[in-house]
Structure 1
Amino acid sequence: MTESTDPRADLAERVAGEITLSEDPGATLRKWRTDFGVSQTDLADHLDVSSSVISDYESGRRESPGIGVVARIVNALLDIDEQRGGDRIRQYARVLSAGFESDIVSDLREYPTTFQLERFYDAIGATELTSGDHDHVTGHTVIDSIQAITRLSSEEFYRLYGQSTSRALMFTNVTRGESPLVAMRVVNPTPNAVVLHGIDREALWDHAPKMAQLDGFSLAVTDDPLDEILESLRELP
């Protein structure tokens, strides 16, 4: 997939379509508003309506918004994001340019400088369980483990590395960590670090640390809320 010439328009179309076609438009609207980090009050102010209007749409107390209202809401979210620096729009553009849908890859970024793994782990509240051959990363990719493993070919999986393999791959929707660690065995070369999100040391697959050691990458776990992790990653220089 080539890089989008208008990531804002692409993102607007995706969000509006998902809300309009959803069986629960209010819940989908709430999901996207939260994803953009926009409060009901801020969205209402931008639309020049009361907060109760947004609340009623999201809760289903008000009839589902039509296409015109959805378009206004989506454009308001994008306007607010641009006023704040456009981080969410740029994030979406990076994912698209790498050839992925945003339900597979939540974030993909290259850093302007090398980050020590310890600093990266501190930023996302991760605990290292096994050290690897490298103590630094130059980027990260946040991946839905179920979507990636069930939908991506081995060639597509390799594209998760972005511009460099010296990165951290963070897998979300993890229950024990078995599938991501097995997937790492067939990807060559391996990343510098793998982070499993949503579990702690006790819930981890028993063989995971040993497999990480065999392949030479650092293995860590974190159960911090994903939205907070993504926000912390956006704040990295």
Structure 2
Amino acid sequence: MHDPRAELAERIAGEVALSEDPGATLRKWREEFDVTQTQLAEEMGVSASVVSDYESGRRENPGIRVVSRVVEGLLDVDERRGGDRVRQHARVLSAGFDQDVVYDLREYEATVPLRRFHHAIEAETVAAGQADTLAGHTVINSVEAIKRLSSEEFYRLYGQSTNRALVFTGVTRGESPLVALRVVTPTPSAVVLHGIEPDDLWEHAPALARADGVALSTTTLPLDELLETIREFP
């Protein structure tokens, strides 16, 4: 039977186990769940310094028992809050799009500064957002997405985008992506419109982005360079 909580728990544990920096990956997921070190420590029945030591690498790599306690602690906190994070990530786990519609979809081992992402793809900020870090990105062929995706698939595409950047290629004015953000939740941390200069942007786009707390930027990096750069990021 499909169990989103169990699937997410397995995914988190797997990421930590395979990570070259397990502490950073644990921290990424704690931040993704919007749980402080103190809150997680209380859930696990340990001191906050223990959580801090694992995340910073001051303690040796956490074993499966510690990782399991961390994961269960995060999921229990989320469940008491209404289960929003589990539902959001269930959409990530079930996402399935053609490669020519979604060029790249990635979860990072640890959160990275948004400014680093913008610098890597030579993006120019148009509107500042509320978040300053990212935990992943999705690169979307906006033309093919509009032509081929159903309304439900569009919802899944946006709905999975917790703490990530959505990069839309083949954009002419940026109207469609920004309007779509108004009717789906959760919104991403950042939207990058590829192929246009800030001066060519739809005049209402910055205001809509600011209203939703989304960082908005544009880039004119050639598509092949953009994809090569973003697939190697971070």
Interval containing the TM-score (normalised by the shorter chain) = 0.5 to 0.7
Q: What are the within-5 Å matches in structure 2 for residues 89-168 of structure 1?
A: 98-160=95-157, 164-168=161-165
How many residues were matched structurally? 143
Compared with structure 1, are the counterparts of its residues 121 and 234 closer, same or farther at alpha carbon in structure 2 (3 Å cutoff)?
same
Q: Take 1:139 and 1:116, find their aligned partners in 2: how far apart are those partners?
A: 11
Separation in structure 1 between the aligned mates of residue 103 and residue 168 of structure 2, nearest angstrom: 10
Shift of 1:159: 2.9
Corresponding residue of 1:205: 202
Match status 1:217 vs 2:214: yes
Question: Shift in Å at residue 97 of structure 1?
Answer: 7.2
Q: Which amino acid aligns with 1:219?
A: L
Q: CA shift at 1:162, angstroms?
A: 8.3
CA displacement at 1:133 relative to structure 2? 1.1
Correspondence 1:181-200 to 2 at 5 A: 181-200=178-197
User: Is 1:173 matched up with 2:170?
Assistant: yes
Structure 1 segments of 4+ aligned residues over 4 angstroms from their partners: 161-164
Q: Provide the rounded CA distance (Å) in 1 between the counterparts of 2:160 and 2:188.
A: 12
Q: 1:228 to 1:96 in 2, by over 3 A?
A: farther
SS at match of 1:129: strand
CA contact 2:187–2:212 (8 Å) conserved in 1? yes
Q: Secondary structure at the match of 1:138?
A: strand
- SS of equivalent to 2:199: helix
Distance (whole Å) between structure 2 residues aligned to residue 162 and residue 121 of structure 1: 22
Partner SS state of residue 99, structure 1: coil
Q: Residues 175 and 163 from structure 1, CA distance in 2 versus in 1: closer, same or farther, beyond 3 angstroms?
A: closer
Q: 1:133 to 1:154 in 2, by over 3 A?
A: farther
The answer as to whether partners of 2:128 and 2:216 remain within 8 angstroms in 1 is yes
TM-score between the two structures when normalised by the length of structure 1: 0.56
Q: Which runs of 5+ in 1 are unaligned?
A: 1-94
- The answer to whether the Cα contact below 8 Å between 1:195 and 1:222 also exists between their aligned partners in 2 is yes
* Whole-angstrom CA distance in 2 between matches of 1:152 and 1:186: 16
Assess, with a 3 A threshold, how the Cα gap between structure 1 residues 171 and 135 changes in structure 2: closer, same or farther.
same
Deviation of 1:201 after TM superposition, in Å, equals 0.7
Percent identity over paired residues: 64
RMSD of aligned residue pairs (Cα, Å): 2.1
Amino acid of the structure 2 residue aligned with 1:204 = L
Quick one: distance in 2 between partners of 1:150 and 1:100?
Answer: 13
Q: 1:182 to 1:110 in 2, by over 3 A?
A: same
Q: From the superposition, tell whether residues 178 and 100 of structure 1 become closer, same or farther in structure 2 (CA, over 3 Å).
A: same
- Asked if the contact 1:128/1:220 (under 8 Å) is kept, the reply is yes
Tell me, what secondary structure is at the counterpart of 2:139? strand
- Is the CA contact (8 Å cut-off) linking 2:158 and 2:186 kept in structure 1? no
Kindly state the Cα deviation for residue 160 of structure 1 after the two structures are TM-superposed.
2.5
Q: Distance in 2 between matches of 1:124 and 1:191?
A: 18
Asked if structure 2 preserves the Cα contact closer than 8 Å seen for 1:154 and 1:187, the reply is no
Pair 1:96–1:150, CA change in 2 (3 A): farther
